């Protein structure tokens, strides 16, 4: 059933104020009242799940300042895209633990960048503990929305994320349904694999505004279902019973005449959207204001369109603003 007001999910914690995926980012999000937080997971060479938006970490850590790792800078193809930098799968956890977090968007979020270098990066197990302890501290149930990154790629290099994730969730007490867990990915294959292992969670299929998922492209090539097809009426029929919901790029909901939310709800699927941010850089053109890309525009105007669409969950970078706007 659609929610009266959407879940407010701290996207990588509270990255509008602290470097994403840092301890202080998560702790601030919990203090600001989110219903859940969203860690992204990638893997190390020795099979430890670390919390980073991507496996290429030059933009979110100080790894370029570590001369001992200079020779590991390389170029790889991840999900068909050439990337140059340093990759988590080329390091042990002990090595990555020597790094410190950095703000990914210092030109937009200078205040957050003032925290550069002050915090180590986290493992998934650390975030599971932070949220469990935060729920007790704040006296309310707080969930985790776990995003699995690049599962097909990692499997291709011998790092199957599924058993690693299952191990961490079971060890942390998050696999039995006692704590609120949502698992999401742009690749439906990994969602099915985790579901088949009996991980009690809601499973949500992430949807880009264009293109097609890498796992299906590897299997079917140009015949693979596109993201746009996945949210058509016929496409949504195919996801009933396979996933519990979809999570779409907000641009799809801001497009005039779209019926994604109504169509999904009619089929018993929940709908989340990403990512609600107040800065001009991230707003649709009609909602941007003066003051440059880091200034806040008419975010309430844009968020109002999203709220009226009837979504069940929103990902936010500024949890205080998200809670203040979306919660009844």
The model carries a pTM of 0.96
The string of DSSP codes covering 263-286 is HHHHTT-EEEEEEE--BGGGS-GG
Beta-bridge partner residues of 51: 41
- For 45-56, letters b (16+ CB in 10 Å) and e give bebbbbbbbbbb
Q: How many residues are there in the chain?
A: 328
- The token duo for 262 is 């109504």
Q: How far apart are alpha carbons 274 and 245 in whole angstroms?
A: 14
pLDDT at 5: 87
The string of DSSP codes covering 174-214 is -SSSSS-EEEEES-HHHHHHHHHTT--SEEEEEE-SSS--H
Beta-bridge partner residues of 11: 38
pLDDT at 322: 98
Rounded to the nearest angstrom, the gap between the alpha carbon of residue 67 and the centroid of all alpha carbons in its chain is: 31
Find the DSSP H helices in 32-113.
93-96, 110-113
Q: How far apart are alpha carbons 71 and 168 in whole angstroms?
A: 31
List the domain boundaries for the chain.
Answer: 7-326
Q: Spell out the residues 6+ positions from residue 124 whose beta carbon is closer than 8 angstroms to its own.
A: 39, 41, 49, 50, 51, 146, 165, 168
For 224, counting Cβ atoms within 10 Å of its Cβ (0-12 exposed, 13-18 middle, 19+ buried), the class is middle
> Other C-beta atoms within 10 Å of 158: how many?
9
DSSP code, position 327 = -
**CA triple 279-31-3, angle to 5 deg:** 75
Is the domain spanning 7-326 CATH 3.40.50.1100? The answer is: no
For 25, phi and psi rounded to 5 degrees?
-65, -45
- The token duo for 103 is 């703000």
Are 211 and 222 in contact, with CB atoms under 8 Å apart?
no
pLDDT along the chain (328 residues), means of 10: 78 98 98 98 98 98 98 97 98 98 96 96 98 97 98 98 98 95 98 98 98 96 96 97 98 96 98 98 97 97 97 98 93
Beta strands in 49-188 (DSSP E): 49-51, 74-78, 81-85, 143-148, 181-185
């Amino acid at each position: 059933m659609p929610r009266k007001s959407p879940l407010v999910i701290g996207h990588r914690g509270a990255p509008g104020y602290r470097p994403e995926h840092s301890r202080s980012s998560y702790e601030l999000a919990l203090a600001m009242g989110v219903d859940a937080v969203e860690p992204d997971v990638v893997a190390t060479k020795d099979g430890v799940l670390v919390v980073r938006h991507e496996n290429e970490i030059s933009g979110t850590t100080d790894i370029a300042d570590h001369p001992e790792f200079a020779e590991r800078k390389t170029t790889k193809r991840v999900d068909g895209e050439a990337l140059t930098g340093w990759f988590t799968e080329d390091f042990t956890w002990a090595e990555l633990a020597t790094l410190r977090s950095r703000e990914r968007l210092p030109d937009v979020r200078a205040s957050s960048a003032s925290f550069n270098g002050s915090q180590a990066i986290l493992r998934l197990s650390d975030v599971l503990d932070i949220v469990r302890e935060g729920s007790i501290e704040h006296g309310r149930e707080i969930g985790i929305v776990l995003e699995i990154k690049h599962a097909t790629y990692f499997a291709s290099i011998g790092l199957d994320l599924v058993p690693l994730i299952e191990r961490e969730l079971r060890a942390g007490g998050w696999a039995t349904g006692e704590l609120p867990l949502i698992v999401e990915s742009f690749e439906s294959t990994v969602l099915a694999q985790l579901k088949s292992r009996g991980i009690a969670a809601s499973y949500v299929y992430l949807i880009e505004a264009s293109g097609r998922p890498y796992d299906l492209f590897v299997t079917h090539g140009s015949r693979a279902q596109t993201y746009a097809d996945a949210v058509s009426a016929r496409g949504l029929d195919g996801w009933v019973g396979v996933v519990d919901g979809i999570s779409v790029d907000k641009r799809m909901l801001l497009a005039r005449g779209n019926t994604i939310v109504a169509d999904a709800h009619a089929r018993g699927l929940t709908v989340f959207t990403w990512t609600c941010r107040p800065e001009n850089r991230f707003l649709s053109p009609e909602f941007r204001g003066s003051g440059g890309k880091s200034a806040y525009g008419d975010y309430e105007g844009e968020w109002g369109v999203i709220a009226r669409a009837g979504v069940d969950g929103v990902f936010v970078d500024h949890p205080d603003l998200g809670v203040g706007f979306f919660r009844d």
